[in-house]
Structure 1
């Protein structure tokens, strides 16, 4: 029968010290993944809102949709996706109401604010501008 030896006194608490050194790194990585996922979600929503507005402007017949109608559709899409603070969203529409074959350009820009990472990472500012541009030909 083998007897187990206990660890010498100088090795006790080593795993606690290692955990204390690595835990903050893991926490920052975890929050980084969550923040990056939220930023990618925002990029997808902004891109789809831009596409939705452009599609409304080029497809839905005569009379052509006005800039105000296109912007209203984009804001409606953003509200449904959870972007309720829409006054900070910038929407630019050019070429609306044109004839068949002309280009309609819709640009949507949103200032995304990081919630947690700026507190941990010194060089990361709190806000990044997320934008999307969509160009479609009038039908």
Structure 2
């Protein structure tokens, strides 16, 4: 009987040692996938943060443009308001691109006329964002705000 018990104990120790190797192998196989998910979450968060910054910049510029002032702000001055807001607020993993600001005053600047401010930015991700951009082309973020002149 004691010979059988010793044999079983040795088999159990061997089985535990083999399980450790299996766990290490599973970790090695799953780790790259977990890192891709982590970097994907980070890239998506940065993209959404940049989108929020673009929205706020277009709102700031539109609000500055429609407020009653003598003289009213020119399109160049409204563009400067948006660019000043964007300065040092956009997050990027690669080379930063300059956002484009477009002002549309097609109905004039009289009271009640709409002013449209559009801000466009080409997003450069960290790891997955730049790899995804290489496959699909650049990711362009756009934010527009329309406000009526006071």
Please give the TM-score of this superposition, normalised by the length of structure 1. 0.84
Q: Partner residue of 2:124?
A: 113
**Gap runs ≥5 in structure 1:** none
Q: Distance in 2 between matches of 1:49 and 1:65?
A: 16
Greater share of residues in helix: 2
- Alignment CA distance shift 1:93-1:81 (3 Å): same
**Structure (1 or 2) with the larger CA radius of gyration:** 2
Task: Decide whether the 8 Å contact of 1:118 with 1:125 is kept in 2.
Answer: no
The question of 1:5 aligning with 2:36 is answered: no
Task: Decide whether the 8 Å contact of 2:120 with 2:142 is kept in 1.
Answer: yes
Q: Distance in 2 between matches of 1:55 and 1:86?
A: 26
Please state whether the residue corresponding to 1:15 is helix, strand or coil: helix
Deviations 1:104-130 (A, max 9, x none): 000000000122005766985463000
Please state whether the residue corresponding to 1:88 is helix, strand or coil: coil
Q: Given the alignment, which residue of 110, 134, 137 partners 2:145? A: 134
- Alignment CA distance shift 1:33-1:92 (3 Å): same
Q: Given the alignment, which residue of 97, 100, 104 partners 2:111? A: 100
Q: Partner residue of 1:59?
A: 67
**Moved beyond 3 Å, runs of 4+:** 9-12, 82-87, 118-126
**Gap runs ≥5 in structure 2:** 1-10
Task: Decide whether the 8 Å contact of 2:96 with 2:124 is kept in 1.
Answer: no
Q: Partner residue of 1:50?
A: 58
Q: Distance in 2 between matches of 1:119 and 1:106?
A: 28
Q: Given the alignment, which residue of 79, 82, 87 partners 1:79? A: 87
Q: Distance in 1 between matches of 2:133 and 2:76?
A: 41
